[in-house]
Amino acid sequence: MGYFHEINLKDANDERLMQISKEYGIALNLDEMKKIKDYFLGKKRNPTNVELQSIGQAWSEHCCYKSSKAILKEFVFGIDNGRVISREDAGVVGFDEKHAYALRIESHNHPSAVEPYGGAATGIGGIVRDILCMGCQPVALVDPLFFGNLDIEYKKLPKGVKHPKYLFSGVVSGIRDYGNRIGIPTVSGCVYFDKNYVGNPLVNVGCVGIGKKENITRSAVKKIGDLLVLVGGKTGRDGIHGVTFASEILTEKSEDESRTAVQLGDPIMKEPLIHACLECVEKKLLNGMKDLGGGGLSCVVGEMALAAGFGAEVELDKVPLKEKGLKPWEIWVSESQERMMLAVDEKNLEPVLNIFKGWDVPAVVVGKVIPGKVVRLFYQKAKVFDMDLGFLTEGPVYCRSRAMKKRRKKEKTPNKPNDYNRVILRLLSSANIASKEWVIRQYDHEVKGNTVIKTLQGKIDSVTHADASVIKPLEKSFRGLAISVASAPFFASIDPLKGGKSVIDEVCRNLVSVGARPHSLTDCLNFGNPEKPEVMYDFYETVKGMGEICSYLNLPIPSGNVSFYNETEKGSIPPTPVVLGVGIVDDIRTCVTVDLKKEGNPLYLIGETKNEMGGSAYYRLVKGYSNYVPDVDNKKLKKSMGSLLNAMKKGYVAACHDVSDGSLGVCLSEMCIGGNIGTILDISRINNLRTDIKLFSESNTRWVVEVKKENEKSFVNEMRNIKLSKIGKVKGENLIIRDKKEIINLPVDKIKKEWGQTLWGRMG
């Protein structure tokens, strides 16, 4: 039969095994190919092409986490404070007595490098399905993005690499169009630019959803005899080898060789698919549900069956196709979008099919659950696949070698600036700090009407960035979900352990800034080739740092994603840990925003400023260098958060902003922009440090707060055990800062203009 064939592994030597791996596009190494050969020798037969292709998907780095699983288990998997309900396609955490929220973040890096619009759009589509398959309604999206420098000359681009402006524009458009069309607000994110992301941009996407605890759905079948119902979009040749493509480095040939690995999104199909699935969930008609993401049918069927200790049989010729002529292996591994697999009791089949018919969404029975941990596939009544699920789904696990790269360089302390006005304006207009309004305004961050603390805050004609957004997910409750994103590539590049700690500190600061109690996290860990010991060292240290802080705070990470092989032939990206944090706001009416509110209110700096300039925006600007990256004191972080949240709850705080990129000078400028009002400040009380270090050190666990004047004594008393410095007051129309003498005096209008024009000027 021409539609499937056997592959001769029995007689293959090592060289031939590697030829087969390359010929079939499965990206497996020699040891893995030998294990497959031994397995089928034990079965006294050769594999079919369908079986070999399936193993290639299941054993890819993207699917089985073969290089990262052991390290994640050591540092983060065990953190559980009793609030976690489920750890499957997404993490599910208790929200209130009757409700839970789901959270997940993942990467769509390589597809976005090849086709930025489609790659980003299908990233959103995939992350929404992860939330949906837990039985939750998606309510918010996030988009951490990383690109090369926008002003790089075309002639300096490596061969085959697209310009960062093209990638940036395409990615934002893809996220905009997909998210807006399915009616889910994009409420948080970050945008970084650095030369080391040229050729390999990072497109991370996250989603948070809400659901009733009684409706939380498992990504598993329930019993023998369950019917497997495939719903949603049709299956095509788009997305074939998507996970193996994601598990290789990008080359100048990736554009031509891997374009078919990029899926094609269809938000017009996704929106009714969401409604139909949730209606089935609400009516208790499903025994299980899982999305078809990486590996398509080849992963979802086996994983759902094995999770309950069973197997499955599937008839591939029943799968609805976009086009004629797809071979069985193509149907099995395609990652075509907008598809979900439902496990349905036979007695519930008719009402399920009627619901999907009512929403005009295709739904068809393609298989059933059988005893024994095995999957069998049939095509035109011929058996084309018969494999043990244990072998197929477990995959190899590696403890790869680690070696610290030589990164410590000689300290290079810059001269003290002669003109601090110029330095602060240059920082504010730098691409990593400047206003991201060009991006944010393209997203509908208020669709559904639940975004109560918005992405941009302040007066209508003078908005500034939020530290976190807050969603009101339930109609009859004032309890809120705060959502924020943090990353620390510039810290992790110098000291990955402290970079890992810092990213947790920052996301906690962001959540606390709006009055939210950090509740859970999900992470996307973006690194280079794990087969390189230096990359694995960075990964190990970063995860160790993250785990140390989360363990101390008892802050669970019930879901996440690891993205390796983020490099080109020119080199690796910086180690880039990204965290989506979710916080609980007991009453959204007590939330605090960034923008300054009232003339005469005092301003306080919470936390200690240290000579920790490594990775800082200021040192990058003035070509300084330091090995001393900001560290985190677990105890001070926990105490500071608790005291500040109490002060907010009691109504003492009018505005709050965490001190992060660009440090104190930038923090104060952004607060002035949002309030369209000035400040008079004196930083001479901040430790015995050089003026530029006081202004631009990015030490962790710090906030600037505007205190209501009438509550100042109560606030100081509430913070009595925390490092606190009174630095000035809200006043006038200029940002004025003194350190024994006046060092900065800038009209807020000028600050606003410099901060606001960079991306608009470069992107149009």
Q: Which residues are catalytic?
A: 62, 108
∠219-339-556 over CA atoms, to 5°?
40
d(CA 295, CA 264): 15
d(CA 550, CA 714): 31
d(CA 630, CA 632): 7
Q: Would you state the structure tokens that stand for residue 361, as one six-digit string? A: 């969404």
Q: Would you state the structure tokens that stand for residue 73, as one six-digit string? A: 């288990």
Q: Would you state the structure tokens that stand for residue 274, as one six-digit string? A: 């969401």
Torsion of CA 320, 3, 48, 310, to 10 degrees: 20
HEC assignment per residue over 65-80: CCCCHHHHHHHCCCCC
Query: Is 453 within 8 Å of 515 (Cβ atoms)?
Result: no
HEC assignment per residue over 555-619: CCCCEEEEECCCEECCEECCCEEEEEEEEEECCHHHCCECCCCCCCCEEEEECCCCCCCCCCHHH
Q: Map residue 4 onto helix, strand or coil.
A: coil
Q: Would you state the structure tokens that stand for residue 489, as one six-digit string? A: 């590539």
Distances (CA, A) of 487 to 185, 510, 542: 21, 12, 12
Q: Write the burial class of residue 253 (CB in 10 Å: 0-12 exposed, 13-18 middle, 19+ buried).
A: exposed
Q: Which helix (H) or strand (E) element contains residue 726?
A: strand 724-730
Q: Would you state the structure tokens that stand for residue 532, as one six-digit string? A: 């390189």
